[in-house]
Amino acid sequence: MIDLHVTEAKPSDAPALLRIIHTAFGARPPLDPPGTALQETLGSIEAAVEAYGGLLARVDDLPAGAILFAEDGGWLALRRVSVHPRFQHRGVATAMVGCAEEVAETRGMDGVRLVARAELPSTLAFWWHRGYVELARRGPEVDVVKRLPVEVIAPSAGDTRAVGERLAGLLRAGDLVLLTGELGAGKTTLTQGIGAGLRVRGDVTSPTFVIARGHQSLAGGPSLVHVDAYRLGGVPELDDLDLDTSLDESVTVVEWGEGLAEGLAEDRLDVVLTRSLGDPAGGVLEGWPGGAADEGAGGGTETRRIRIVPAGRRWVDVPLRAALGAPPT
């Protein structure tokens, strides 16, 4: 058992950060053209931490990992991601990246980005495994990005529908949305908002006994395919619905789709709805419509917390936070 701690770096940590960066990058195989990490100095590290911050990881109180931050157009940029060779393969890099994403969320940023090298396939695999995607290549340099989840508070059923309507403004044919949440969490209500935003024909209701229901657009846009996977026994039964035939022309929303429908498309939105009684922790979102509050068993206002997790290249350039009106974290 190791004692691993990750803390936000201070300028006084510059000597430890510099040693880790020089040792880690110095142990890499030769690259063409060579990287610039070994050109870092105590002064450059201090200035970077002073300006944007960074992370220092310690294992058994020994300096083990380092990341420097920068900010780039609303994104948190990671620089000099490095783990001392002595402490590699102990989860240090994973812990630091998780903390970096938390920092980006706390700062209200859209996502995390960095530049990796194509000559280091194991490094690229590390990022792909954590949900990062390739944005572009410039010679040996690979732009790697991850758009962060967006979380909004819906104090009422009307607000939940409003989230769906705003979400519909971002959707296009071929998009897949997977909804997860307990019974009564608001999955169908959110889908009703998506249907309203897409201007589809017919009332959007729970398709539990039909399993899948299609709604054609009244405005020349994509149709909505609404699926309830609650009663499906597994992936083979989902395949029997033959959703692939309509996926490219429709927006497909699958309730209870977690663990079943991810294989339908590499790009998707995973939406997790949770509910709680009492006052909403995050307050009413500015500019959102009101509406009668949902009443829970205890008679209090039933608040929905809606967490939208983008997956895949499709969502990298989509301003989810701004479009959904999510307040800064």
Sheet holding 223-228, edge to edge: 150-154, 302-311, 268-277, 176-180, 250-255, 223-228, 212-215
Judge whether 25 and 35 are in contact, CB under 8 Å: yes
Judge whether 126 and 93 are in contact, CB under 8 Å: yes
Please state the domain extents for the chain: 4-147, 150-324
Judge whether 114 and 147 are in contact, CB under 8 Å: no
C-alpha span between 117 and 165 (Å, rounded)? 40
**pLDDT single digits (tens) 149-182:** 999 999 999 999 999 999 999 999 999 999 999 8
Q: Could you tell me which CATH number the domain at 150-324 has?
A: 3.40.50.300
Give the angle subtended at the CA of 68 by the CAs of 142 and 8, to the nearest 5°: 135
Q: Pick one of 3.20.20.80, 3.90.1570.10, 3.40.630.30, 3.40.50.150 as the CATH number of 4-147.
A: 3.40.630.30
C-alpha span between 144 and 146 (Å, rounded)? 7
**pLDDT single digits (tens) 202-243:** 888 776 555 667 788 898 899 998 888 766 554 455 554 555
Q: Say what percent of the chain tops pLDDT 90.
A: 65
First-last CA distance in the chain: 34
**pTM here?**
0.81
